[in-house]
C-alpha cells in the first residue's frame, strides 16, 4: 500500500510543510501519475512513522496481511547461518538489532546525529565499528526485503564473503588451553606457554609464531578480558560504563556525603601508620578528615562529630559494606540523626569516586612533602630508597643504631613491634617524624587554606564559594553534649532491681526505682560511667551512673579487651602447635629409668588465693552482717535458744556469718540459694565449690 504526499496530508489532516519535514529521511519511490508531467514520490505504509501508521489504522486504512507470512518462516535457520562463524553470526544479530533500534528512533534526531550521539556511544554496537548513513540504509533495505519475503531476518545479514579469518594452525582444544594460560598471569610469557603446550601436545603443537599470533589476535578481540586479567581496577577504569555524572544526584549542600577510609602513606614518630577517614560533601566538594589508629564504628562517630560541627547533618551517606559501617553502632547513629545510608558493593571505588579522588590528592600534595612519607605502594617505596646514595643509607643506619643504644629493652621492643624495622626499610628518610596530632593539624590546614580555596576543575569554582552560594539551610545540633549522646550507642534494656546492666557495668539512679521491670531506651557516651536513660516515648528520665567507672573511656577499654582476646587466641594457637609436636615427655623419661629412687616429702600448709581471700574478706563480712543484724527487726521463731527466746536474724532471714563459706553452706542446707547467692558464687567460685562439698543436702 502506497501513498503520495497529497494523499497523506488529506488523510492525516496535517500541513504539507510538516509532512515533508517528517518524511525527508523516509525511503520513497518516484512514480508517474496520470495527468502529471513529473514523477511523484510514493511512500509505503510500513515505511511511515509509527504515529502516522496508527492514525491511518484508526481510519481503517491498513495493508492486508499475507497468509503465508508467519513467524515460523522467520525463525527457521538454514545452512547459511549454521555454517557461518560465531563472529559473523554475532555481527548479523547486531545489525538486525540496530535496524530495529533505528525504527524506534525519535524524530528529534536526524540520521547523522542519531548515529553519532546514540549508536557510537552504545557499547552493544561496538563490534560493528563505525556505521555510515549509507550502510544503515543498505541494512534497512535488507531488513524490509526479508520481512516482505518472509525469510529469516538474521540470515539476511550474514556476510558470505571471504574465508574464515584468524589463526587456523591451532586446534580448538589448543586454543582453549592457550586462553587459560593467558588468563592465569597478568603478563603471559608466550615462550614458557609454548614450552608447556609442547609438553602436552607433542608433535601436534604448531610453531611458536602460530601461538604468538593467536595471543595477539585474542588480545585484540578480548580487550576487556585481557585488561581484567592484568588488573581488575584498571579494567574498571577503562571499560566500565560511565553514563551520566555521579555528582548530579547532589542538588544542594549536605544532600549526599561520601565516607571512606585509607591507610596514610606516612609513618609517625611512634612508628605507626595511622588511618585517614574522610567525609566529603558531593555538592560542594568540601571535606573533613580524621586521623585515627584504625577505622571503627567509634572513630567514624568521631569523624561525624567533627564533620557535623563544621558542615551540618547530611541527608544521605554513601558507604561501603565494611564492618565498621554496617555495625549496630553506626546504624544507631544514622537512625538517631535521620541519615539515610546508601551501601555500595565491595571493591566498587567507582561508586564513591569523589572521596577516592580526594585521598589521592591529599597524598600527592601533602604526604609526599612531609617527613615520614613511605610511598603509595612497594614500588614507590623502592624508588624512594634508590634516590638516596649508599653513603646516605650507611649514615641513616648508623644514626638509627646510635639511637637504639640510648633506649631501654622495652622501648626497643615496642619500636620493633610498631614499625617492624626491616632491611627493606633501611634508607627511608625517617629521621624527623611528626606525631599523629601534628599530622591531623597539617591535614586540616591543607584543607582550609589550600584545597577549599582553589578552583575545582569539575565544579568550576572553589569548594568554599560553591558552599557559600547555596542558600539551603544547614541542619545541625547546636548543643555539643546532645551531639555526643546522638553519636553514642543506643540500646534497649530492662531495669532490674540493681539498676541497668549494660557493657559490664551496673548503672543506677533514684528515678529508676519506679521503673523496675520496665524496658527503657539507653544512650551511651564515651564515659563508661554514664548513660542517658529515656522512656519508650523518648522522654528523658535520668542520667544513670556507675560511679566505679566514671572517667574511663568506654571504647578504649573495649579495644583493650579485644586486643587481649586476640592475644589469648594467639597464645592458644602457639600452645596447640607445640602440643602437636611429638617431643620427649615425662612418660618417655619414666620408661627410660631403670632404678627407683626413694624420696621423702615433708607436708606444709600452702597459702592459696582462696585462703587469702577468706582471711581478707571474713572481717568485712562479719562487720557488715553485725551492722545489718543490729538494725534488723526480723526473728527466727522456729529456732529458739535454750531459754526459748527467738533469735534475731538478718532481713533476708539468714543468721550472721563470719565467712562466705559459712553463708554458702547455710544457703544450700536451708534451700535459700537466691540471686544474691548466685552473684557471690560467681565472684568467689572457689569458696562456692568448698561449700558445695561441705553442705549436707538430702
How many other C-beta atoms lie within 10 A of the C-beta of residue 56? 19
pLDDT greater at residue 666 or residue 68: 666
Q: What is the mean pLDDT of residues 546-562?
A: 71
pLDDT greater at residue 589 or residue 656: 656
User: With left for phi above 0 and alpha for psi between -120 and 50, is residue 427 left, alpha or beta?
Assistant: left
> What pLDDT does residue 462 have?
92
Mean pLDDT of the chain: 75
pLDDT category at 290 given cuts 50, 70, 90 is very high
CATH superfamily of 246-372+437-469: Ribonuclease H-like superfamily/Ribonuclease H (3.30.420.10)
User: CA angle, corner 231, sides to 225 and 237, nearest 5?
Assistant: 85
Q: Which of 52, 70, 72 is nearest to 62 (CA)?
A: 52
pLDDT category at 555 given cuts 50, 70, 90 is low
Judged by average pLDDT, the poorest of 156-165, 308-317, 340-349, 503-512 is 156-165
The segment with the largest mean pLDDT, out of 232-241, 571-580, 636-645, is 636-645
Judged by average pLDDT, the poorest of 133-142, 231-240, 478-487, 526-535 is 231-240
Q: Which of 693, 694, 653, 658 is nearest to 673 (CA)?
A: 653
- Which residues make beta-bridge pairs with 534? 521, 540
pLDDT category at 532 given cuts 50, 70, 90 is confident
Type and span of the H or E element at 176: helix 172-184
Q: Which of 311, 614, 687 is nearest to 474 (CA)?
A: 311
Q: What is the mean pLDDT of residues 409-424?
A: 54
Q: Which of 646, 644, 645, 670 is nearest to 657 (CA)?
A: 670
- Residues in CB range of 171: below 8 A, 6 or more apart: 204
Judged by average pLDDT, the poorest of 145-159, 420-434, 600-614, 641-655 is 600-614
- Chain Cα centroid distance, residue 421: 31
Q: What is the pLDDT of residues 26-50, one digit of tens each?
A: 888 888 877 777 888 888 888 888 7
> What pLDDT does residue 249 have?
81
Judged by average pLDDT, the poorest of 311-315, 533-537, 590-594 is 590-594
Judged by average pLDDT, the poorest of 54-68, 145-159, 669-683 is 54-68
CA–CA distance, 81 with 98 (Å, rounded to integer): 19
For the four alpha carbons of 335, 339, 344 and 346, in that order, the dihedral sign comes to negative
Judged by average pLDDT, the poorest of 259-268, 306-315, 391-400 is 391-400
Half-sphere exposure of 413 (CA within 13 A, CB side): 3
> What pLDDT does residue 168 have?
67
Q: What is the pLDDT of residues 269-286, one digit of tens each?
A: 777 788 899 999 999 999
List the domain boundaries for the chain.
2-58, 71-157, 172-239, 246-372+437-469, 378-428, 490-507+520-578, 609-694
Judged by average pLDDT, the poorest of 161-165, 356-360, 621-625 is 161-165
505 pLDDT more than 60: yes
- pTM score, whole prediction: 0.41
pLDDT category at 592 given cuts 50, 70, 90 is low
Q: Which of 342, 353, 301, 190 is nearest to 555 (CA)?
A: 301
> What pLDDT does residue 666 have?
82
> What pLDDT does residue 423 have?
44
> What pLDDT does residue 606 have?
39
How many other C-beta atoms lie within 10 A of the C-beta of residue 367? 22
- Chain Cα centroid distance, residue 41: 63
> What pLDDT does residue 244 have?
45
> What pLDDT does residue 481 have?
60
Cα distances from 371 to residues 321, 422, 451, in angstroms, run 33, 19, 20
- Chain Cα centroid distance, residue 332: 18
- Chain Cα centroid distance, residue 659: 56
252 pLDDT more than 60: yes
> What pLDDT does residue 695 have?
80
458 pLDDT more than 60: yes
What are the phi and psi torsion angles at 174 (to 5°)? -65, -35
How many other C-beta atoms lie within 10 A of the C-beta of residue 337? 17
Describe the strand order of the beta sheet including 540-545 as a list of residue ranges.
Answer: 490-494, 519-524, 530-534, 540-545
> What pLDDT does residue 287 have?
93
Half-sphere exposure of 531 (CA within 13 A, CB side): 28
CA–CA distance, 287 with 311 (Å, rounded to integer): 9
Three cell numbers written together for 326? 554496617
Write b or e for each residue in 612-648: b if 16 or more Cβ atoms lie within 10 A of its Cβ, otherwise e.
ebbeeebeebeeebeeebeebeeeeeeeeeeeeeeee
> What pLDDT does residue 693 have?
81
> What pLDDT does residue 239 have?
56
> What pLDDT does residue 278 have?
93
How many other C-beta atoms lie within 10 A of the C-beta of residue 406? 8
20 pLDDT more than 60: yes
User: With left for phi above 0 and alpha for psi between -120 and 50, is residue 162 left, alpha or beta?
Assistant: left
Q: What is the mean pLDDT of residues 127-154?
A: 83
For the four alpha carbons of 225, 226, 229 and 232, in that order, the dihedral sign comes to negative
> What pLDDT does residue 465 have?
92
- E strand map for 402-536: 490-494, 500-502, 505-507, 519-524, 530-534
- What 3-state DSSP class applies to 462? coil
pLDDT greater at residue 57 or residue 441: 441
> What pLDDT does residue 387 have?
46
Amino acid at each position: 500500500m502506497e501513498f503520495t504526499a497529497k494523499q497523506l496530508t488529506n488523510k492525516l489532516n496535517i500541513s504539507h510543510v510538516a509532512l515533508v519535514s517528517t518524511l525527508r529521511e523516509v525511503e520513497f519511490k518516484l512514480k508517474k501519475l496520470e495527468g502529471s508531467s513529473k514523477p511523484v514520490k510514493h511512500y509505503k505504509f510500513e515505511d511511515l512513522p509509527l504515529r502516522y501508521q496508527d492514525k491511518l489504522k484508526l481510519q481503517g486504512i491498513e495493508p492486508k496481511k499475507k497468509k503465508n507470512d508467519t513467524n515460523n518462516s522467520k525463525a527457521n535457520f538454514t545452512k547459511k547461518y549454521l555454517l557461518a562463524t560465531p563472529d559473523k553470526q554475532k555481527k548479523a544479530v547486531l545489525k538486525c538489532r540496530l535496524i530495529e533500534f533505528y525504527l524506534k528512533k525519535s524524530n528529534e534526531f536526524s540520521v547523522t546525529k542519531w548515529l553519532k550521539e546514540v549508536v557510537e556511544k552504545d557499547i552493544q554496537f561496538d563490534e560493528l565499528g563505525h556505521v555510515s548513513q549509507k550502510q544503515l540504509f543498505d541494512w534497512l533495505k535488507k531488513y524490509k526485503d526479508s520481512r516482505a519475503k518472509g525469510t529469516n531476518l538474521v540470515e539476511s545479514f550474514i556476510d558470505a564473503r571471504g574465508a574464515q579469518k584468524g589463526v587456523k594452525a591451532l586446534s580448538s582444544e589448543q586454543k582453549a588451553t592457550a586462553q587459560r594460560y593467558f588468563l592465569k598471569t597478568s603478563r603471559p610469557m608466550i615462550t614458557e606457554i609454548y614450552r608447556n603446550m609442547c609438553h602436552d601436545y607433542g608433535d601436534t603443537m604448531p610453531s611458536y609464531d602460530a601461538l604468538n599470533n593467536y595471543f595477539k589476535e585474542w588480545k585484540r578481540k578480548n580487550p576487556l578480558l585481557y585488561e581484567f586479567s592484568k588488573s581488575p581496577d584498571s579494567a574498571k577504569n577503562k571499560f566500565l560504563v560511565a553514563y551520566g555524572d555521579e555528582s548530579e544526584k547532589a542538588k544542594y549542600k549536605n544532600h549526599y556525603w561520601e565516607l571512606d577510609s585509607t591507610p596514610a602513606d606516612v609513618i609517625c614518630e611512634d612508628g605507626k601508620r595511622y588511618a585517614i577517614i574522610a567525609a566529603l560533601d558531593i555538592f560542594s566538594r568540601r571535606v573533613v578528615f580524621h586521623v585515627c589508629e584504625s577505622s571503627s564504628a567509634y572513630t567514624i562517630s568521631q569523624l561525624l562529630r567533627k564533620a557535623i560541627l563544621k558542615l551540618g547533618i547530611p541527608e544521605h551517606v554513601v558507604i561501603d559494606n565494611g564492618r565498621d559501617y554496617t555495625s549496630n553502632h553506626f546504624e544507631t547513629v544514622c537512625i538517631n540523626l535521620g541519615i539515610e545510608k546508601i551501601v555500595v558493593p565491595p571493591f566498587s571505588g567507582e561508586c564513591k569516586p569523589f572521596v577516592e579522588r580526594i585521598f589521592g590528592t591529599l597524598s600527592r600534595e601533602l604526604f609526599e612533602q612531609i617527613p615520614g612519607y613511605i610511598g603509595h605502594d612497594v614500588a614507590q617505596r623502592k624508588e624512594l630508597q634508590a634516590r638516596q646514595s649508599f653513603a646516605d643509607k650507611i649514615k641513616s643506619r648508623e644514626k638509627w643504631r646510635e639511637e637504639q643504644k640510648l633506649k631501654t629493652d622495652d622501648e626497643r621492643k615496642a619500636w620493633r613491634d610498631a614499625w617492624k624495622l626491616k632491611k627493606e626499610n633501611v634508607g627511608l628518610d625517617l629521621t624527623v617524624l611528626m606525631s599523629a596530632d601534628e599530622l591531623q593539624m597539617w591535614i586540616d590546614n591543607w584543607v582550609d587554606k589550600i584545597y577549599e580555596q582553589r578552583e575545582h576543575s569539575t565544579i568550576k569554582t572553589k569548594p568554599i564559594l560553591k558552599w557559600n552560594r547555596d542558600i539551603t539551610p544547614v541542619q545541625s545540633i547546636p548543643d555539643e553534649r546532645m551531639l555526643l549522646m546522638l553519636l553514642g550507642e543506643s540500646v534497649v534494656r530492662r531495669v532490674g532491681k540493681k539498676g541497668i546492666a549494660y557493657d559490664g557495668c551496673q548503672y543506677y539512679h533514684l528515678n529508676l526505682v519506679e521503673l523496675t521491670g520496665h524496658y527503657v531506651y539507653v544512650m551511651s557516651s564515651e564515659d563508661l560511667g554514664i548513660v542517658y536513660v529515656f522512656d519508650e516515648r523518648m522522654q528523658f528520665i535520668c542520667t544513670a551512673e556507675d560511679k566505679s567507672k566514671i572517667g574511663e573511656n568506654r571504647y578504649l577499654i573495649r579495644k583493650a579487651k579485644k586486643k587481649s582476646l586476640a592475644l589469648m587466641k594467639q597464645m592458644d594457637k602457639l600452645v596447640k602447635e607445640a602440643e602437636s609436636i611429638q617431643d620427649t615427655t615425662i612418660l618417655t623419661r619414666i620408661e627410660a629409668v631403670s632404678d627407683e629412687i626413694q624420696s621423702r616429702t615433708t607436708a606444709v600448709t600452702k597459702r592459696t588465693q582462696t585462703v587469702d581471700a577468706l582471711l581478707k574478706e571474713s572481717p568485712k563480712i562479719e562487720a557488715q552482717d553485725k551492722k545489718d543484724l543490729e538494725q534488723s527487726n526480723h526473728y527466727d521463731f522456729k529456732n529458739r535458744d535454750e531459754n526459748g527466746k527467738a533469735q534475731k536474724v538478718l532481713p533476708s532471714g539468714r543468721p550472721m556469718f563470719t565467712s562466705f563459706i559459712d553463708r554458702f553452706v547455710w544457703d544450700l542446707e536451708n534451700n535459700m540459694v537466691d540471686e544474691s547467692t548466685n552473684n557471690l558464687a560467681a565472684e568467689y567460685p572457689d569458696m562456692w565449690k568448698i561449700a558445695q562439698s561441705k553442705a549436707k543436702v538430702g
